[in-house]
Amino acid sequence: MARLAILEYPDPRLRTRAVPVTTFDAALKQRVADMFETMYEAPGIGLAASQVDWHERVIVIDISDDRSQPEVFINPELLKLEGRATGEEGCLSVPGIFDDVVRAERVQVRYHDVEGKVRERDLDGMLAVCLQHEIDHLDGKLFVDYLSELKRQRIRKKLEKGRRERGASAAPARASAPRL
């Protein structure tokens, strides 16, 4: 297993539209295992392949407190969306930022499991919210896209400032190293 690097906003690679998985093989299972490890380590309750710079339609989710309910959704399609619910969201690709997003309350989803078998489920609550958040990632969309331009600009500045400061303290020699 391997922990993968998570892309952060405003990395343009997060805007890539992921393509469907066509081959259900051992390599796919390995990628899914790596995604779970990355998600649990982060820690987060969901992860889309797009966030680890892999642009295929693969999502892992575990909303349980004890990591006991791993769920994999491959090539997910929302067949039905019902109701509206507002909830506070966060994203591993937008660290430290939380804001309200309106989503469907219940969804019906068709997807492939990791063996390639087609499944259909009705979901609600946190699982429905998380699945919609992850499908957005596969379409190159982030939860901050639902916020105002002003908020998004503030978020971008805050993340860039944070990265600059962390970068400066982690590797002070780098800024003055000779440019070759």
The residues annotated as belonging to the active site are 134
CA angle 88–75–127, rounded 5-degree value: 30
Tell me, residue by residue from 82 to 101, as one string, x for binding to ligand GNR by CB under 6 A and - for no binding: -------xxxxx--------
Determine the residue type at 14.
L
Q: Is 61 in the site for Ni ion (CB under 5 A)?
A: no
77 with 32: CB under 8 angstroms? no
Tell me, residue by residue from 103 to 142, as one string, x for binding to ligand GNR by CB under 6 A and - for no binding: --------------------------xx--xx--x-----
Contact partners, residue 91, CB within 8 Å, separation at least 6? 9, 97, 133, 142, 143, 144
User: Which residue's Cβ lies closest to ligand GNR?
Assistant: 44
Distance of alpha carbon 59 from alpha carbon 84, whole angstroms: 23
Stretch that binds ligand GNR, among 26-34, 42-50, 72-80, 107-115 (CB under 6 A): 42-50
Count of alpha carbons within 13 angstroms of residue 156, beta-carbon side: 13
Task: Count Cβ atoms within 10 A of the Cβ of residue 33 and give its class: 0-12 exposed, 13-18 middle, 19 or more buried.
Answer: middle
CA angle 110–146–90, rounded 5-degree value: 75
138 with 19: CB under 8 angstroms? no
Query: Pick from 4, 36, 44, 159: which binds ligand GNR (CB under 6 A)?
Result: 44
Q: Is 138 in the site for Ni ion (CB under 5 A)?
A: no
Tell me, residue by residue from 73 to 92, as one string, x for binding to Ni ion by CB under 5 A and - for no binding: ------------------x-
The nearest distance, CB 76 to ligand GNR, in angstroms, is 13
Question: Based on CB atoms, which residue is closest to ligand GNR, 44 or 76?
Answer: 44
Q: Is 46 in the site for ligand GNR (CB under 6 A)?
A: yes
Residues within the interface to Ni ion (CB under 5 A): 91
Residues within the interface to ligand GNR (CB under 6 A): 44-48, 51, 89-93, 129-130, 133-134, 137
